């Protein structure tokens, strides 16, 4: 597993240089954070493109995230607007319209093609955006230096768990014992930070600032990547069974330690395209690491192609 570097959280500041003369008017941008629909509604089982395809459904009971260091700049300029705060956010309890994180004012109107932000490890001094976030949740994120804390409950009325034989030559042997189960819990504390940049949609790179007005941009955190068969947005399925089968002690929970002990060779290469992952995948723990790294998105399904683990 990659070592996570501790991020120093600074006070809110705007770093602005004056080498660009204003051309025309100025405007503002507001940045919101919003939960992906899966966090709010869960993921149903079915045959649809957005469904779980192997009989399991997913409900998110907890989804906490650390977010911050939002930047706006231009590739042709040294002018940078930056909020260096980090925020601990309860996305499960957030409104579907999102939560206002920060606002930058007096930007030159026109295109700003560099939008970036971080999903860092939470540390002392992190702020909150919600009055109702519990002290327990906040302290858990900060004390354990987490980027994401998630509890998922997976259900399948005809489910089975077939524990991997991790001490055997073929840990995913097709004749290994299976046991009936209808519920599995994934309760994970994830210290996997990432910085993203170059955020864009199909129609806009970065943001456009209107003269005399305010535009809004939404930093969208996705959740369903933990079940992706590839890190892309086309020709991908959502499957839970390979993670379910990492319940090695049959206690109804799949832990990160269990995932670390399972080699990635259990993932069927005719189903999973591991070449799309940002780094090496040697264990199922690495699979969860890299799928977490790809959570940050932009304006819904827009992407931030530049990703640097912290």
* Its pTM surpasses 0.85: yes
Region 33-61: what's the mean pLDDT? 95
The answer to whether residues 9 and 83 touch, using CB atoms and an 8 Å cutoff, is no
Q: Which three-class secondary structure state does DSSP give residue 201?
A: coil
Q: Could you tell me which residues are beta bridge partners of residue 208?
A: 111
Q: Give the strand pairing for 194-197 and 114-119.
A: antiparallel
Neighbours of 171 (CB within 10 A): 18
Q: Which residue has the higher pLDDT, 234 or 145?
A: 145
Which tokens go with 6? Answer: 């501790």
Distance separating alpha carbons of residues 122 and 140, to the nearest angstrom: 9
- Chain centroid to CA 293: 6
Domain ranges of the chain: 26-309
- Identify the pLDDT of residue 99: 95
pLDDT at 21 over 80: no
Distance, in Å, from the CA atom of 55 to the CA atom of 59, rounded to the nearest integer, reads 14
The dihedral sign for the CA sequence 174, 178, 183, 188: negative
pLDDT, tens digit (0-9, with 9 covering 90-100), for 59-111: 999 999 999 999 999 999 999 999 999 999 999 999 888 999 999 999 999 99
């Amino acid at each position: 597993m990659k070592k996570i570097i501790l991020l120093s959280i600074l006070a809110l500041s705007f770093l602005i240089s004056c080498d660009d003369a204003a051309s025309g008017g100025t405007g503002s941008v507001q940045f919101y954070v919003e939960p992906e629909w899966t966090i709010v509604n869960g993921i149903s089982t079915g045959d649809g493109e957005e469904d779980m395809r192997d009989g399991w459904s997913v409900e998110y009971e907890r989804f906490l995230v650390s977010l911050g260091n939002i930047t706006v700049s231009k590739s042709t300029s040294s002018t940078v607007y930056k909020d260096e705060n980090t925020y601990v956010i309860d996305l499960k309890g957030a409104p579907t319209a999102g939560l206002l994180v920060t606002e930058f004012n007096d930007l030159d109107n026109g295109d700003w093609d560099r939008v970036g932000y971080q999903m860092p490890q939470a540390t002392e001094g992190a702020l909150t955006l919600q009055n109702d976030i519990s002290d327990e949740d906040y302290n858990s994120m900060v004390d354990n230096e987490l980027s994401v804390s998630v509890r998922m409950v997976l259900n399948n009325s005809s489910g089975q768990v077939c524990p991997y034989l991790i001490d055997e030559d073929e840990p995913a042997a097709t004749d290994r014992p299976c046991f009936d189960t209808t519920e599995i819990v994934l309760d994970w504390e994830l210290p996997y930070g990432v910085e993203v940049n170059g955020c864009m949609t199909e129609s806009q790179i970065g943001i456009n600032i209107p003269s005399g007005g305010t535009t809004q941009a939404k930093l969208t955190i996705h959740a369903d990547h933990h079940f992706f068969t590839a890190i892309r947005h086309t020709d991908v399925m959502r499957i839970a069974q390979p993670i379910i089968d990492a319940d090695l002690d049959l206690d109804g929970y799949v832990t990160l330690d269990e995932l670390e002990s399972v080699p990635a060779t259990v993932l069927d290469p005719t189903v999973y395209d591991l070449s799309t992952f940002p780094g090496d995948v040697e264990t199922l723990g690495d699979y969860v690491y890299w799928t977490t790294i790809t959570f940050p998105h932009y304006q819904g399904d827009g992407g931030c192609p530049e990703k640097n683990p912290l």
